[in-house]
Amino acid sequence: MLLVINLGSQLAHLIARRVRDLGVYSEIVPYDISAEKIKALKPKGIILSGGPSSVYEKNAPLIDNEIFNLGIPVLGICYGLQLIGKAFGKVENYQIKEYGKTSLKLKKNGKLLEKLSKDEQVWMSHGDAITNLDKDFEVLASTNSCKLAAIENHKKNIYGLQFHPEVVHTLKGTEIFRNFLFRICKAKKDFNISDMKEKLIKEIKETVGNNEVLMATSGGVDSTVAAVLVHHAIGRKLHCIFIDHGLIRKNEKEEVDAKYRKYFKFENYYSVDASAIFLKKLECISDPEEKRKIIGHTFIEVFEKHAKQLEKKHPKIKFLGQGTIYPDRIESAQPSKQASKIKSHHNLTLPEKMNLKVIEPLKDLYKDGVRKLGKELDIPKEILNRHPFPGPGLAIRILGDITKEKLEIVREADNIFIEELKKSGYYDKTWQALAALLPIKTVGVMGDARTYEYIITLRAVTSVDAMTADWAKLPDKLLGMISNRIVNEVKGVNRVVYDITQKPPATIEYE
């Protein structure tokens, strides 16, 4: 087992996931865990995550420095490295900050950077940096503005990186983790998704017992895998409700109904059209957070109403199943007292008003892990490779207030975009693609007439886990074809733009 000490980073769980991907079981623990407790857990290694704080800030998350004396290998990442610097040297705030892709220059490989080249692409995100360290530390690499970008101390078994090996934009990040896990920690491969499938099914059976489970399903990858997993465990004791809030993609309801009723053959699947209720409550609402809250609360009301009807017929319904995965939890709640909240997630509000115990079988998995589990459950590839679609749906892809006209515009534009991506083969090469409607109009010319219509912005990204993402390099010809189709076929649009911003600094969705 390897421990990841969470120092408030939005990427702490991503580190744990990288470790698990290499076959080593990992657990995340809070930064205030004692050295004594860590010793009792007997981990093979410890990773200190990054974080948004400065080590000298008031109330900055600090660790028990006795951790460094346990003899257990420690790897500090970004803020985690700066904690090492605070304990064994000096950390200062740099005038020159480093954010994004950077070139790492290796002085020597050591154990940590074994098999890396003299010049490597890494991902930086820091303002502070170590300026001095005890003589037992060796400097392995630097960047143009950071002299101590990678360090190691064989005597104390302490290692550190100022960059983030957990993100995909650090090209040899996996190799660095492999070096730490197997060369330094001597860890054993003891974790895989196949084992998790059987373990989760067993846990669900034991938890539910003779009772029954109610689930809200969106038809997306997460909720589908969660529902099929629970169905494998308890069969007809599972009840699934699909709520059409009027903010879904074109033909979505028909496709989801067919999937659950005909393909998966769920015995108890219910489809509810509540679009009129949601659209009425969203009238004149522009603030994205308010949209999410309204959708979340309305979802609860609609879901609770139908849940109560089901509970009368099926009094053994005692559990609420959810397809919550790691990124939902990270971006919706604070994984530690120091983490920065990004946005609320409407699904996570479901249990607040319901008298049901919650089951979240996917809560420790990232999207790629969910897809691997789905494959183990024999879910078809075309379902597993479906792009993520947000719970609030098109509501957060319409910037500003929502109207039926705007919904129709963005729904048709999105359908054209996805349709052309699939035809061209680029759908499976991108993590997520979407069309969004900007709240401004521009002048255009169609035929001999001037127009004053909306702008559609297209966004397609490549990613592994949605924690970081790069814009997809779609061919000019393909983008041109999509733009022409949208302008010609979607009434109310006279301009199409393509978003080329990475995450961070941007998010994948617009709201």
Domain CATH code at residue 361: 3.40.50.620
Q: Are 460 and 430 in contact (CB under 8 A)?
A: yes
How many domains does the chain fold into?
Answer: 3
| CA–CA separation, 227 and 248 (whole Å) | 19
189 phi/psi in degrees, rounded to 5: -75, 115
With vertex at residue 72, the alpha carbon angle to CA 181 and CA 84, rounded to the nearest 5 degrees, is 95
Boundary residue ending a domain (184, 209, 230): 184
Q: Examine residue 389 and state whether it is found in any structural domain, yes or no.
A: no
Q: Are 124 and 165 in contact (CB under 8 A)?
A: no
Q: Would you name the residues annotated as active-site residues?
A: 78, 164, 166
179 and 218 inside one domain: no
435 and 312 inside one domain: no
Q: Examine residue 409 and state whether it is found in any structural domain, yes or no.
A: yes
Q: Examine residue 199 and state whether it is found in any structural domain, yes or no.
A: yes
Q: Are 11 and 363 in contact (CB under 8 A)?
A: no
303 and 341 inside one domain: yes
Non-local (6+) Cβ contacts of 378 within 8 A are none
What is the residue-level pLDDT of the chain in tens, covering all 511 positions? 999 999 988 788 889 989 988 999 898 899 999 999 999 999 999 999 998 888 888 889 999 999 999 999 999 999 999 999 999 998 887 655 667 789 999 999 999 999 999 999 998 876 678 888 998 999 999 998 888 999 999 999 999 999 999 988 899 999 999 999 999 999 999 888 877 898 899 999 999 999 999 999 988 899 999 999 999 999 999 999 999 999 999 999 999 999 999 899 999 999 999 999 999 999 999 999 999 999 989 998 999 999 999 999 999 999 999 998 866 664 443 444 444 443 444 444 455 556 789 999 998 787 778 999 999 999 999 899 999 888 899 999 999 999 999 999 999 999 999 999 999 999 999 999 999 999 999 999 887 788 899 999 999 999 876 778 899 999 999 999 999 999 999 999 999 999 999 998 899 999 8
Q: Examine residue 393 and state whether it is found in any structural domain, yes or no.
A: no
Domain CATH code at residue 482: 3.30.300.10
378 and 414 inside one domain: no
Q: Examine residue 503 and state whether it is found in any structural domain, yes or no.
A: no
- Three-state DSSP at 509 gives coil
322 and 415 inside one domain: no
Domain membership of residue 314 as a residue range: 193-384
Q: Examine residue 507 and state whether it is found in any structural domain, yes or no.
A: no
- Three-state DSSP at 415 gives helix
Give the CB-side neighbour count of residue 243, counting CA atoms within 13 A: 24
Q: Are 306 and 299 in contact (CB under 8 A)?
A: no
457 and 325 inside one domain: no
- DSSP element (H, E) containing 285: none
Q: Examine residue 265 and state whether it is found in any structural domain, yes or no.
A: yes
Please report the sign of the dihedral spanned by the C-alpha atoms of residue 128, residue 131, residue 134, residue 136.
positive
23 and 66 inside one domain: yes
Q: Examine residue 390 and state whether it is found in any structural domain, yes or no.
A: no
Q: Are 486 and 451 in contact (CB under 8 A)?
A: no
In single-letter form, the type of residue at position 290 comes to: E
Domain CATH code at residue 38: 3.40.50.880
214 and 169 inside one domain: no
Instruction: Look up residue 456 and give its two tokens.
Output: 């559609």
Instruction: Look up residue 49 and give its two tokens.
Output: 């995550």
Whether pTM > 0.85 for this model: the answer is no
175 and 208 inside one domain: no
331 and 466 inside one domain: no
* Letter string b/e over residues 79-101, b meaning 16 or more CB atoms within 10 A of that residue's CB: bbbbbbbbbbbebeeeeeebeee
Boundary residue ending a domain (184, 214, 242): 184
199 and 329 inside one domain: yes
197 and 174 inside one domain: no
Instruction: Look up residue 448 and give its two tokens.
Output: 């001999």
What is the residue whose two structure tokens read 């659950």? 260
Boundary residue ending a domain (160, 184, 208): 184
